[in-house]
Structure 1
Amino acid sequence: MLDVKLCEECKVPELFNREIAWLDNGDIVQRTNQSARATFIECETIDPLIKNIGDIIGVSIEHLIINITARGSQLYNENALPDLVRQMIRSKQIDLVPIAQAVGMRGQLMGYGKHEWIDHRYENDQYDFSIQRITKPFSLPIMAGNYAGALAAAVGGEHAVIYEELTPGVYQFKSQWAKYHNELKKRMAIVPYKHVSAGLDLERCPICGAPMLLAEYQWQGNEGLIKHGDTGRRMALLGPQMMDPVFRALEDELGETIPQIVVEGQRRFVETGFPFLDLEKSDEDLRLQLALRGLGNLQEFELSDKRMGLKLNNACLHLLLLGFMQGTFELTFDVKSDIDWSLSGEGELEFEVTAK
């Protein structure tokens, strides 16, 4: 059983709050590496989105998701594991298993599902492998990439991960050594985040300093789940480095229509009955909810049953957000719509949704 210490006031796990920091501009970063941005976001849309994109373009993108996520996960975990620990793992001065179990425990607190380390072989040859079982993974391909990246951070090299479903909702993931293509390595370049202050203040817990809005969520640590107390929506901590490079790689390979396809894929999922946020609440409420998720700093918002307009600074995961917002507009007013947007090099996102 996972023994998790919660804040007495807001009930947020202390380890979760120590992992990331909410800044004053609608951004979240890794505390140990503030050039690495993060998001706290609804995760039940991810695998349906990946499938929708594949259906639209006529080819699965799962292999790209796994490989590019592995690169982002490796960078994230390298900042979490001290150099000395990595050296001791690779020289076999310390056992890999407790480290792997600790990484799995951290993943459970981030909403990734229940992790169980099953078996491994580590002799630095072609027969090495590792196996873990995950119950209710938040995303199959991203979880596979996370696993590969965590292994790369710990033991070095590059790793392939395959998975199979053992029983409903329970999956076995198995790793082995691999080599990425040079072109794929180029695509996996990660752009470091640079903070720009903006004076956006989320109300903080007086004890642990986490945003008080997190008190609306429930951590089911033993199951690896984070859910909203009222809606039951599942959340997870994700890095834009794990998603945005995927979309850039797809655009490089398949053409300039990929951003529109990603937005459409997300809109289609929302259309099934998954509204993102209550658009008819106050602008300030929307601003705080976007900041809680680390999606950016809302500057302007206009809404009617004919049109929605929005301006957001420091935008990240903007294609997911666009699909979320367009789909929610359509559900709110029971209409079909068109969307136009622009994103500046400084991360300023402007978009307009108009009813047909």
Structure 2
Amino acid sequence: MRNCRECGFPRKFGRFFDWRADGTIVSTDHSRTRSQITFLEDGELEDLFDDLSNTIGISVEPFLVQAQKKIGKAIFSGLPVRHMKRIPCNRFLRPQWVARLLVKLIATDMAGLGDGRVSVDSYRAGQSLVLRFKNPCLVPLLAGSSAGIYESVEDMPGSNIEYGIEGGELVVHLSHGEDKAESESRLRLEDVGPGEGPLSYDRCAKCRTPLSASRALQWDLGRGVISNRITGRREVVVASQSVNAILWELETELGTDIPRIVYEHQRDYTRGRLAGRITGDSDMFWEDHLRDLAFRGLGYPTSLRHNGSSVSVTIANPYNQDLYAAKIAAALETVTGSPSSVEWKKRSHHHCEYEITTDL
């Protein structure tokens, strides 16, 4: 992979990733498909969904897999694998080596998202496919994406999915199914919003990547791993549309309490990650926190006012309104040491106003 001569950022991602003035990142793939993306620490979404499952008493994994299937179909529709649909589905015209070749082409793109390294264990045209992921993360989402691609390639309405960890590697077994999942017809992908905002970056003069990104992010495509040089932790690229579609599906299936539960778990998780980071200057702490959220593509407020015990926020186009507000609440609780509550003034996907207060 070739890097920018000035800042060292991978040139491929410098072309496809656009850090915008509203604190979001838009990725444009080979087919000109645009999606809003985020960089999240490995384990953040897994912990969120595990906590959600424990709170409501049922596993949310089946909902995650089903929701991610449509995301996978949308995201990978522009990749070379789509051409296989033109080939009749039989073992003579679709031998196993063809499947291995196409998955090998996809593997580099998936590795670039930090999803690990995928390969084919076995393929029988019109019957089954077994995929293996080394260094996997976001396991239910990988299984869902795999099913979405498989259903697209095999041109079928549904598939049977089994997956599990074997020797530290994710193995996904896919076979032909008969029925289309009921939830699939109502899943929706949000459009990419406008990118205007108050934020500016110090950028590389050659590739225009923010220098904060080129200093922090490091790719190992051979392992399918993105590392953060500053935190030492693994990162993964997640489509904002994917997060929103999944949460919308969970709310539809499990009830209107889901946004509140997700908000509370995200707030508590982020507060734990922020512990010990404030050393005296609260203004500097707030600025660093907001910049970190923007660096990850989570958004940046058009207005934020804090007076010590409360914070008022106006924001357009964050990756998810509830999850972003929870990260702001976590910062306020870190500064004050007191629990908080949120009051929503205006609330839509592309524009929100709210106030978070503590008991101080």
Calculate the TM-score normalised by the size of structure 2. 0.84
SS state at 2:284 partner = coil
* 8 Å contact kept, 2:24–2:195: no
* 8 Å contact kept, 2:341–2:358: yes
Count of aligned residue pairs for this structure pair: 348
1 CA distance for matches of 2:133 and 2:349?
41
Does 2:318 correspond to 1:315? yes
Of 4, 10, 33, 1:7 maps to: 4
Match of 1:211 in 2: 210
Describe the superposition over 1:159-202 as per-residue Cα deviations: whole angstroms up to 9, x where unpaired: 343322223x4322222233564530133222322435447443
Describe the superposition over 1:119-176 as per-residue Cα deviations: whole angstroms up to 9, x where unpaired: 222321xx322221332x2211112112222333444333343322223x43222222
Unaligned runs of 5+ in 1: none
Match of 2:121 in 1: 119
Does 2:61 correspond to 1:62? yes
1:270 deviation in Å?
2.7
Match of 1:251 in 2: 251
SS state at 2:166 partner = strand
* 8 Å contact kept, 2:198–2:302: no
1:92 deviation in Å?
3.9
**RMSD between superposed Cα atoms in Å:** 3.0
Moved more, 290-299 or 211-220: 290-299
Describe the superposition over 1:200-222 as per-residue Cα deviations: whole angstroms up to 9, x where unpaired: 44332222222222122222333
1:300 deviation in Å?
1.2
Counterpart code for 2:8: K
1 CA distance for matches of 2:14 and 2:85?
24
Unaligned runs of 5+ in 2: none
* 8 Å contact kept, 2:3–2:9: yes
Query: For the structure 1 residues 10 and 110, does the alpha-carbon distance in structure 2 shift closer, same or farther, using more than 3 Å as the test?
Result: farther
SS state at 2:301 partner = strand
Match of 1:188 in 2: 187
Of 93, 98, 103, 1:100 maps to: 103
Counterpart code for 1:307: S
Query: For the structure 1 residues 182 and 311, does the alpha-carbon distance in structure 2 shift closer, same or farther, using more than 3 Å as the test?
Result: same
Matches for 1:180-329 after TM superposition, within 5 Å: 181=180, 183-195=182-194, 197-198=196-197, 200-215=199-214, 216-273=216-273, 280-281=283-284, 288-329=291-332
Moved more, 47-56 or 269-278: 269-278
Question: Max radius of gyration: which structure?
Answer: 2
Counterpart code for 1:121: Y
Describe the superposition over 1:64-102 as per-residue Cα deviations: whole angstroms up to 9, x where unpaired: 111111111210110344854653596649922122122
2 CA distance for matches of 1:14 and 1:149?
29
Does 2:329 correspond to 1:330? no
Match of 2:144 in 1: 145
Counterpart code for 2:137: F
Matches for 1:149-168 after TM superposition, within 5 Å: 149-157=148-156, 158-167=158-167
Match of 1:25 in 2: 22
Moved more, 333-342 or 277-286: 277-286
Query: For the structure 1 residues 323 and 128, does the alpha-carbon distance in structure 2 shift closer, same or farther, using more than 3 Å as the test?
Result: same
Query: For the structure 1 residues 72 and 116, does the alpha-carbon distance in structure 2 shift closer, same or farther, using more than 3 Å as the test?
Result: closer
1:262 deviation in Å?
0.8
Calculate the TM-score normalised by the size of structure 1. 0.85
* 8 Å contact kept, 1:315–1:349: no
Counterpart code for 1:64: F
Query: For the structure 1 residues 274 and 141, does the alpha-carbon distance in structure 2 shift closer, same or farther, using more than 3 Å as the test?
Result: farther
* 8 Å contact kept, 1:35–1:194: no
